[in-house]
Amino acid sequence: MSFAILFVLVPIGAIVAWWLSQQRLMAKPWLEVGAIDEVPDTGASSLPAAVIGLGVFLAVVSSLFALFVSAYFMRMQVADWVQLPAPKLLWFNTGALILSSAALQYAHVAARRGGIEGVRDGLIFGGLFALTFLAGQLLAWRQLNATGYFLAANPGNAFFYLFTGVHGLHLLGGLVALGMTAGKVWRGFEVNQVRLSVRLCAVYWHFLLALWLVLFSLLTPWVGDFAIICRGLLI
């Protein structure tokens, strides 16, 4: 539980505390009666409600995965734990997810600049790369199954299937939203009618990418190698 508390609930608590500190909690409302034209600001954010809603939802998802990861660390300490050799395919999948996220960022930037063609291309490629990622994940499952790493054989395997599965379901949910947005573009909506939806999709995609990178680094024993490769590239 310490993982969940330290890395997710403390930051969320800090955000809530910071937000509360901006809300005049020291006010004495019983002394502050307004006259007819004297209406104070409510302190609501100028962001659209949907953006705030997505932010709250991402906090919930963070809490969910932090607790999964907490369970992972707790279960890891038992002697029967065997780390699963993560299939090489995952590197390809990760690349696809990064491209997907980049495509949606492209769509987001295009939407801000008012180019509907850019939005359309970004959405299509974002969707295709995301589907590639999901197909790759399924293929990784099949490879593992074929080599005898069954779900119930070891908790290491079970967590691998669990993490990839729950992450994949979240991406699938995102694809529904993406599909609806793409449908709007297809039906000829103006760019300012889809700008918000594209923005929400892009934020969600970046979040899922970051989440995947965390999960991937936990699942793969070669995460140390990655750092070495990066250093190699830099020199």
- Which residue ranges make up the site for another protein (CB under 8 A)? 1, 4-5, 9, 12-13, 16, 20, 23-30, 32-36, 38-46, 48-50, 52-53, 56-57, 59-60, 63-64, 67-68, 71, 74-75, 78-81, 151-152, 155, 158, 162, 166, 196-197, 200
d(CA 108, CA 50) in angstroms, rounded, equals 16
- Closest Cα to residue 94, out of 16, 175, 174, 210? 210
For residues 222, 167, 45, 192, the Cα torsion angle rounded to the nearest 10 degrees is 110
Residue placing its CB nearer to another protein in the complex, 150 or 186:
150
Residues, the chain: 235
Q: Which helix (H) or strand (E) holds 26?
A: none
Could you tell me the smallest distance in angstroms from the CB atom of residue 177 to another protein?
10
Residue placing its CB nearer to another protein in the complex, 46 or 146:
46
Q: Count Cβ atoms below 10 Å from residue 115 Cβ, excluding itself.
A: 15
Residue with tokens 């490769």: 229
* Residue 205, φ and ψ in degrees, nearest 5: -65, -45
Residue placing its CB nearer to another protein in the complex, 2 or 232:
2
Could you tell me the smallest distance in angstroms from the CB atom of residue 75 to another protein?
6
The contacts of residue 143 (CB under 8 Å, 6+ apart) are: 87, 89
- Closest Cα to residue 214, out of 53, 94, 100? 94
Could you tell me the smallest distance in angstroms from the CB atom of residue 233 to another protein?
37
Residue with tokens 């029967």: 80
Report CA torsion sign: 112, 113, 118, 120. Answer: positive
Could you tell me the smallest distance in angstroms from the CB atom of residue 175 to another protein?
17
Residue placing its CB nearer to another protein in the complex, 26 or 227:
26
